[in-house]
Amino acid sequence: MVTTTVPVLSCCFSMGYISFFLREDENRSFKRFHRMIFRQFHFWNGLLSVTVVPMKKSILIVDDTRSERRIISSILRRNLDTHVREAENGREALDMLDQEEISLIILDLEMPVMGGLEALKRMNARYPHIPVIILTGDTDTESTVKAMKLGAADFLCKPVEAARLDVSVNNALKISLMSREISRLKRHTDDCFQFSDLIGFAGGLQENIKTGRKAAACDLPVLLTGETGTGKEMFARAIHGEGSRAGQPFIAVNCGAIPEKLVESTLFGHEKGSFTGAVSKATGKFQEASGGTVFLDEIGELPLDAQVKLLRVLQQHEVEPVGAGRPVPVNVRVVSATNRDLVEEVRAGRFREDLYFRLNVLHIGLLPLRERKQDIPVMVLHFVEQFCAAHGTLPRDVTPEAMDKLCRHNWPGNVRELENMVSRAMALCEGELLTPDDFSFVESAAKIMQGVGDSAGVGIAAQAQQGEPIFSLHADGSFKTMREFEQEIIALALAYHQGNMTKTAHTLGIAKSTLYTKIEALAG
């Protein structure tokens, strides 16, 4: 859906005009609503609708002394370039937390209406992921100890020193980032990953999630389809995590990565001595997942012989290990995924029709990133924070121009490509902001994929996808240069792997950093 600028701006100016006629308390509430509208503001950039996502952290200062709030606020704005919100007491702070997204709270202990300790208890109960730094007097040792036991991240003595405040806030924000990421990873490793953990939960994935939750409520086989990098495995984990098998094993198997002769052994297990090299008994992935879910990624790559045995698992709920004399019962749910058109594979005789119908009881097709670009700003924010949590740094803001550039790109490698690009930009950025220059390689990758920038390279990606050969001569009979050969072979590999830089670099036998360097050089 495309939204235009004019109606939204008119609405914003109208709201600013109306605010002059409201009482102070009404005006404060109205402005909060106004800010929430602006944070979800969409603007028309000529091609698509882009959501502006604020990258700066919001810090809430809770103190009944106006002058103290102003001093702390000015230090934060000057030294840390953050958004600052203010509240006079604990009750007002809790009301603001219900309406706004706050990253850090600086809380005074001695306040009227609701004191600091009582507010801290309620904040930790309702918002455990938000770190709290307490403000205390030199003689208030007992209350400080109580606050630290209640979960405060740090304490500051009044009057607040600027250097001490900077260090405390930076440390608290880093801990907050790491704790959120650790919590998400814990749900991942505990096989309790949920749909709310997906990036795009409130955006372009809504219809998929609606179907996914219905799939999670039953125990039928699910087939996920979509391009490489669209997040099929994460979606499968969410189905598992919200179903009755949550907490039980989730075993992911890439069918395309298993050598053809070892497929049956890997999936269904084998007995000792059943074939050369079988020095011990192996249970196989289906028995490992007993009580849980088996995720069969790239199911279209499964050999026909193994497809017959998989059909037996779905029909009889039992596997027959290689070399075993009798079948073994298994209790698993099967979720499969592919980036191929299985109907076409059935017609070509490369996939069994009966297995297709068994797997395709519930079908969910995941959209490529280019068809849900409203999720890109939220994903960029997530990947920035994920990088910071892994490397112990504070998030950088992304300029509107940089975000616009990212939203214009078509992302042939989908979410995986976006994550790689953001991580690289964060690693190489030398300033405080991520600007379009930090994403120059996005443009370079697009050029090499489309064969832009060199007349000999036009249409190379399309040629690669169609499986056409690369010729050593031009149409006029002259030899191609080494640069032209290199450009064509990189385009061929990129097209084959649908923009996945890691797989492309592996196929070409070079480091991923070398691949990025070559792409920039060839597109320049």
Q: How many CB atoms lie within 10 A of CB 453?
A: 15
CA distance 318 to 311: 10
Residue 354 — pLDDT band, cuts 50, 70, 90? very high
pTM recorded for the entire structure: 0.62
Q: Which residues contact 391 (CB under 8 A, 6 or more apart)?
A: none
Looking at residue 253, its pLDDT comes to 93
Here the tokens at position 456 are 């000999």
Q: Is residue 140 a contact partner of residue 148, using CB atoms and an 8 Å limit?
A: no
Looking at residue 5, its pLDDT comes to 34
CA distance 441 to 426: 13
Quote the percentage of the chain above a pLDDT of 90.
22
Condensed to tens digits (0 to 9), the pLDDT of residues 411-470 reads 888 888 898 889 888 888 888 789 988 888 776 555 555 543 343 334 444 444 444 555
- Strand 49-51 relative to strand 42-44, pairing: antiparallel
User: Is 235 a residue whose pLDDT tops 90?
Assistant: yes
Q: Which residues contact 194 (CB under 8 A, 6 or more apart)?
A: 187, 238, 241, 242
Looking at 177-327, which runs of residues are DSSP E strands? 222-225, 250-254, 293-297, 318-319
What are all long-range contacts of 7-16, with beta carbons under 8 Å and residues at least 24 apart? 8/41, 8/42, 8/43, 11/37, 12/37, 12/38, 12/41
244 by DSSP, 3-state: which? coil
Residue 408 burial class via C-beta count within 10 angstroms: exposed 0-12, middle 13-18, buried 19 and up = middle
CA distance 46 to 48: 6
Looking at residue 444, its pLDDT comes to 58
Burial 467-490 (b: 16+ CB within 10 A, else e): eeeeeeeeeeeeebeeebeebbeb
Condensed to tens digits (0 to 9), the pLDDT of residues 278-317 reads 888 888 999 999 999 999 999 998 999 889 989 988 999 9
User: Is 251 a residue whose pLDDT tops 90?
Assistant: yes
User: Per DSSP, what are the bridge partners of residue 322?
Assistant: 270
Query: How many CA atoms, within 13 angstroms, populate the side-chain half-sphere of residue 230?
Result: 27
Condensed to tens digits (0 to 9), the pLDDT of residues 143-195 reads 888 888 888 888 888 888 888 888 888 888 777 766 666 666 666 566 678 88
Here the tokens at position 515 are 């691949």
User: Is 400 a residue whose pLDDT tops 50?
Assistant: yes
CA distance 411 to 421: 10
